[in-house]
């Protein structure tokens, strides 16, 4: 196992940071590394907003579900799917961008995820810790207003960056045999593998929380998928030009 793979397998979310600032040049270096990720059709459909203003940070922390580390992390970035910039390219060539295409929405959103993961890996290689903030989609309209996002741009997630002030255990992932399939989708699931994994996750949470939380992965997924999740997103995206057709 080489150093890159070791680094990837050691990933964990960091929510407590030291007061050490992240150098501006390092932030730029991380963004440049992120830009080297694959991009569908060369769209490069990502804009990243670094939020420094503490009042704005505190408001986003509140809108994200009172996640205090959004305000306290040395660096906070918001990754946005951006079709506005490419739309301007159409105008430069005397055309009008076709809005509302689901495929365009997908490739811009995938571009964001690929670039951000490059940034995260580069950051961890420099000794930084990271935490993704999907909670900004709790109130995407308000976040968009705070960041003055134009039409055809939407905030996908935030990213906290800083030097770790905690050392949590990596969260165990599903067994590879449950994820990697040969030739076709594996419909016949091995329930024992899932049972075993559930117990691993229960033990992980019990250890991490000192016994305050005892929960399996299956129970967590039931809570996630057994109810509506951010139903406002469809109308929010439609209003911003992402019609999904």
pLDDT 10s digits, 52-98? 999 999 999 999 999 999 999 999 999 999 999 998 888 889 898 88
User: Do 116 and 163 lie in a common domain?
Assistant: yes
User: Do 39 and 11 lie in a common domain?
Assistant: yes
pLDDT value of residue 187: 84
Q: What is the CATH number of the domain that holds 30?
A: 3.40.109.10
Q: How many domains does the chain have?
A: 2
Residues sharing a CB contact under 8 Å with residue 13, sequence separation 6 or more, in sequence order: 129, 130, 131, 132, 168, 171
Rounded to an integer, what distance in angstroms lies between the CA atom of residue 171 and that of residue 204?
7
Rounded to an integer, what distance in angstroms lies between the CA atom of residue 73 and that of residue 52?
10
Q: Are strands 153-162 and 129-133 parallel, antiparallel or unpaired?
A: antiparallel
- Taking a C-beta distance cutoff of 8 angstroms, is the pair 81, 45 a contact? yes
Phi, psi of 241 (to 5 degrees): 105, 0
Q: Which helix (H) or strand (E) holds 224?
A: helix 217-225
pLDDT value of residue 87: 86
Residue 1 has pLDDT above 80, yes or no: yes
Please report, for residues 48, 98, 160, the alpha-carbon distance to residue 111 in angstroms, rounded to integers and kept in the order given.
Answer: 12, 19, 19
Which single residue is written with the structure tokens 């305050």?
212
In terms of Cα–Cα distance, which of 124, 121, 112, 105 is closest to 38? Answer: 112
Rounded to an integer, what distance in angstroms lies between the CA atom of residue 211 and that of residue 205?
8
User: Do 79 and 191 lie in a common domain?
Assistant: no
> Which strands form 153-162's sheet, in the order they lie side by side?
46-50, 75-82, 153-162, 129-133
pLDDT digits 0-9 by tens, 186-235: 887 778 899 999 999 999 999 999 999 999 999 999 999 999 999 999 99
Is 10 inside any structural domain? yes
User: Do 11 and 94 lie in a common domain?
Assistant: yes
Around Cβ 82, how many Cβ atoms within 10 Å?
Answer: 23
Is 215 inside any structural domain? no
Mean pLDDT, the chain, rounded, equals: 95
Please report, for residues 4, 33, 87, 97, the alpha-carbon distance to residue 129 in angstroms, rounded to integers and kept in the order given.
Answer: 16, 16, 35, 38
Around Cβ 214, how many Cβ atoms within 10 Å?
Answer: 12
User: Do 204 and 98 lie in a common domain?
Assistant: no
Structural domain boundaries enclosing 202: 176-209
SS (H, E, C) 47-115: EEEECCCHHHHHHHHHHCCCCCHHHHCCEEEEEEEECHHHHHHHHHCCCCCCCCCHHHHHHHHHHHHHH
User: Do 26 and 88 lie in a common domain?
Assistant: yes
Around Cβ 119, how many Cβ atoms within 10 Å?
Answer: 26
How many Cα atoms occupy the beta-carbon half-sphere of 17 within 13 Å? Answer: 25
Is 214 inside any structural domain? no
pLDDT digits 0-9 by tens, 3-52: 999 999 999 999 999 999 999 999 999 999 999 999 999 999 999 999 99
């Amino acid at each position: 196992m080489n150093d890159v793979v070791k680094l990837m397998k050691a990933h964990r979310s960091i929510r407590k940071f030291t007061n050490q600032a992240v150098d501006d040049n390092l932030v730029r270096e991380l963004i440049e590394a992120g830009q080297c990720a694959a991009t569908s059709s060369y769209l490069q459909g990502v804009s990243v907003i670094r939020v420094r203003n503490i009042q704005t940070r505190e408001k986003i922390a509140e809108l994200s579900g009172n996640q205090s580390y959004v305000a306290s992390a040395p660096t906070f970035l918001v990754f946005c799917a951006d079709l506005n910039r490419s739309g301007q390219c159409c105008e430069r060539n005397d055309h009008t961008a076709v809005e509302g295409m689901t495929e365009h929405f997908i490739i811009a959103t995938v571009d964001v995820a690929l670039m951000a993961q490059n940034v995260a890996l580069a950051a961890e290689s420099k000794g930084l810790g990271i935490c993704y903030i999907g909670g900004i989609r709790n109130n995407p309209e308000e976040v968009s207003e705070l960041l003055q996002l134009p039409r055809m741009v939407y905030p996908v997630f935030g990213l906290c960056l800083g030097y770790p002030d905690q050392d949590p255990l990596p969260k165990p992932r599903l067994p590879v045999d449950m994820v990697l399939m040969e030739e076709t989708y594996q419909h016949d699931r091995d329930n024992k593998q899932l049972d075993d994994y559930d117990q691993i996750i229960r033990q992980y949470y019990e250890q991490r929380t000192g016994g305050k939380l005892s929960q399996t992965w299956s129970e967590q997924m039931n809570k996630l998928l057994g109810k509506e999740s951010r139903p406002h997103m469809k109308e929010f995206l439609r209003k911003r030009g992402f019609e999904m057709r």
